[in-house]
A and B are shown apart, each in its own frame.
Chain A
Amino acid sequence: MGIPGSGLAKGLAVTLRTMTKRTVTEQYPDVQPELPSRTRGVIGLFEENCTVCMLCARECPDWCIYIDSHKETVPPAAPGGRERSRNVLDRFAIDFSLCMYCGICIEVCPFDALFWSPEFEYAETDIHELTHERDKLREWMWTVPEPPPLDPGAEQPKEIAAAQKAADKLAAQQAKEAEEAAAAQQAESAQAESGQAGEAPQAKDAGEEA
């Protein structure tokens, strides 16, 4: 700071350094932006998973999800059983002119039927055309990216943790069973050994020579 005019030189240095760096301009219509996989672009509907539980529509803060459905009866699985009823989705629409992209519907869906997609090019010239129906929402499912890898040292997802626990339990049980079986076998062979004591070491020597 001491030398007079050093501030002027510093200003020139800043602009010159910026000139040598990469520009930050996005050339959007020519080059698609690289969006992070958790981008909140649009909501996709995986309608095969939807059970018309209406949780999303009820939790939506601005009531922009429209769901229509009817019930169908399914014949009993086994003869003599009771008929079952099943919800069938007739209409699933999201009004993106109302949606505030809070993501509560996605959080609340118990059957993983709603997903964030980074797709964002769905501007319309008429506000009424922003209400998108289920076929459009289903199409957006194809643009949903793979979930990003977990941070190092992160807790495992609950599904995997539960499956791991079950697998561990099973493995422990199997190990226990194997142990018991081995113990039983040992006891059996100990009984047999009293009869043929000398044979085992000889067989070992033969194996080494071969």
Chain B
Amino acid sequence: MSDTLAIVLRVLAVFVIFLVFPLVIGQTEHKVMAHMQGRLGPMYAGGFHGWAQLVADGVKFAQKEDIVPAGADRRIFQLAPAVALLPYLLVLIAIPVGPGNAVGQALDAGVFFVLAVMGVGVLGSLMAGWASANKFSLLGGLRTAAQLLAYELPMLLAAASVAMAAGTLSLPGILDAFHWWWVPWQIVGGLVFFTAGLAELQRPPFDMPVADSEIIFGAYTEYTGLRFALFLLAEYAGIVVLCALTAVLFLGGWHGPFGADGLGWLWMLLKTVVLAFGVIWLRVSYPRLREDQLQKLAWTCLIPLALAQIALTGVIKVVIS
């Protein structure tokens, strides 16, 4: 009985994090982006500095009509937002937030599971692009596919480097094996992983699949109302997952500097938030990469770097042991 209760509580906690964190990051993006552009951002909703802006947006989205285009593949079109969003919820279950047992569900093949399921999230965009019966959506979907192909590889290679270093695929296991000098050791892999993750989330500057000046809003062009909101939510949930995962794999998760490991979840939270700020910062600072630049960056820069990181990890691993 208590086992069931514990599972229910864990799932509930993960679910709450899943619902709250993307909104917090979305609001932070509103505000940080505004101030980086010399603006104030939302100021009215909720009274104090527009804290309830995203709640208001949610209410607005819920009121809108849910339209499915006549020529669309109905079932696939309606299913796509769920396919885009739910994988991130599943990934969140496997991410450890604190020492010991503070994880939704410890998995032996955690890294494998997490990366595989994150790849599924991109399928949502593909389905949406294909099912919309719209040229722009199709273009967006195909760009998404091309981007997924190009950036999944460096992401996997970079994660593999950490798994090699730790000698385990389990995320809590990787954190247990973590030492502070892993950060400089794996720094290149970390940068590759973070960049590739950004590209997979289609965040600026890698937002070619939704380039609004060229193809309206890519795969999401035909969506309205709640389904559109789910796609947007998926993007922010993706930021949470990517930042948490980068923190776990490359920055030591709940480990604090100088052995200050108490309040482990606070370190984890801090690292995730700093990374999320970085995601927003990059969005504000850089213009969109062109499609060919995007592919070039992945194949000629990130993949060689990731391979070099794996080589470095292997050499040092052999030298140590």
**A12 → chain B, closest Cβ, in Å?**
5
A25/B39 contact (C-beta < 8 A), A11-B285, A14-B285 known: yes
Contact partner, B35, options A8, A11, A12, A23, Cβ 8 Å = A23
Q: How far does the alpha carbon of A23 sit from the alpha carbon of B286 in the complex, in Å?
A: 20
For chain A, the count of residues having a C-beta within 8 Å of the partner chain is: 13
Check if A19 is an interface residue, CB within 8 A of chain B.
yes
- Interface of chain A: mostly helix, strand, loop or mixed: helix
Check if A206 is an interface residue, CB within 8 A of chain B.
no
Instruction: Say yes or no: B281 contacts A27, CB within 8 Å.
Output: no
B293-314 residues with Cβ-Cβ distance < 8 A to A are: none
What does the 1/0 interface line of A1-43 toward B look like (CB < 8 Å)? 0000000100110111011010111010000000000000000
Check if B80 is an interface residue, CB within 8 A of chain A.
no
> Within 8 Å CB of A18, what residues of B?
35-38
Chain B, Cβ-Cβ closest to A11: B285
> Within 8 Å CB of B36, what residues of A?
15-16, 18-19
Instruction: Say yes or no: B38 contacts A15, CB within 8 Å.
Output: no
B1-59 residues with Cβ-Cβ distance < 8 A to A are: 32, 34-40, 43
> Within 8 Å CB of A14, what residues of B?
285
- Interface of chain B: mostly helix, strand, loop or mixed: helix
Instruction: Say yes or no: A12 contacts B38, CB within 8 Å.
Output: no
> Within 8 Å CB of A21, what residues of B?
38
Q: How far does the alpha carbon of A12 sit from the alpha carbon of B210 in the complex, in Å?
A: 23
For the A-B complex, the count of residue pairs with Cβ-Cβ distances under 8 Å equals: 34
Chain A, Cβ-Cβ closest to B31: A19
Instruction: Say yes or no: B286 contacts A19, CB within 8 Å.
Output: no
> Within 8 Å CB of A24, what residues of B?
38-39
Check if B284 is an interface residue, CB within 8 A of chain A.
yes
Instruction: Say yes or no: B39 contacts A15, CB within 8 Å.
Output: no
Chain A, Cβ-Cβ closest to B35: A19
> Within 8 Å CB of B34, what residues of A?
23
**B218 → chain A, closest Cβ, in Å?**
25
Instruction: Say yes or no: B32 contacts A19, CB within 8 Å.
Output: yes
Instruction: Say yes or no: A23 contacts B285, CB within 8 Å.
Output: no
For chain B, the count of residues having a C-beta within 8 Å of the partner chain is: 14
**B191 → chain A, closest Cβ, in Å?**
11
**A148 → chain B, closest Cβ, in Å?**
28
Instruction: Say yes or no: A25 contacts B40, CB within 8 Å.
Output: yes
Chain A, Cβ-Cβ closest to B43: A27
**B19 → chain A, closest Cβ, in Å?**
28
Chain B, Cβ-Cβ closest to A25: B40
Instruction: Say yes or no: B281 contacts A16, CB within 8 Å.
Output: yes
Q: How far does the alpha carbon of A4 sit from the alpha carbon of B36 in the complex, in Å?
A: 24
Instruction: Say yes or no: B40 contacts A23, CB within 8 Å.
Output: yes
Contact partner, A12, options B39, B40, B281, Cβ 8 Å = B281
Q: How far does the alpha carbon of A23 sit from the alpha carbon of B43 in the complex, in Å?
A: 13
Q: How far does the alpha carbon of A11 sit from the alpha carbon of B36 in the complex, in Å?
A: 11
> Within 8 Å CB of B284, what residues of A?
15
Q: How far does the alpha carbon of A51 sit from the alpha carbon of B37 in the complex, in Å?
A: 53
Instruction: Say yes or no: A23 contacts B281, CB within 8 Å.
Output: no
**A112 → chain B, closest Cβ, in Å?**
41
Q: How far does the alpha carbon of A48 sit from the alpha carbon of B42 in the complex, in Å?
A: 48
B266-321 residues with Cβ-Cβ distance < 8 A to A are: 281-282, 284-286
Q: How far does the alpha carbon of A14 sit from the alpha carbon of B285 in the complex, in Å?
A: 8
Instruction: Say yes or no: A15 contacts B285, CB within 8 Å.
Output: yes
**A60 → chain B, closest Cβ, in Å?**
40
**B161 → chain A, closest Cβ, in Å?**
22
Instruction: Say yes or no: B286 contacts A11, CB within 8 Å.
Output: yes
Chain B, Cβ-Cβ closest to A10: B285
Q: How far does the alpha carbon of A12 sit from the alpha carbon of B39 in the complex, in Å?
A: 17
Q: Please list 6 pairs of residues, one from A and one from B, whose beta carbons are closer than 8 Å in the complex, sorted by A's number.
A: A12-B282, A16-B36, A18-B36, A19-B36, A23-B35, A25-B39
- List chain B positions with a Cβ less than 8 A from chain A: 32, 34-40, 43, 281-282, 284-286
New A-B pairs, 8, CB < 8 Å, besides A15-B36, A24-B38, A25-B40: A12-B281, A12-B282, A15-B281, A15-B284, A16-B281, A18-B35, A19-B32, A19-B36
Q: Which 9 A-B pairs have the closest CB atoms?
A: A15-B36, A25-B40, A11-B285, A19-B35, A15-B285, A19-B36, A15-B284, A24-B38, A12-B285
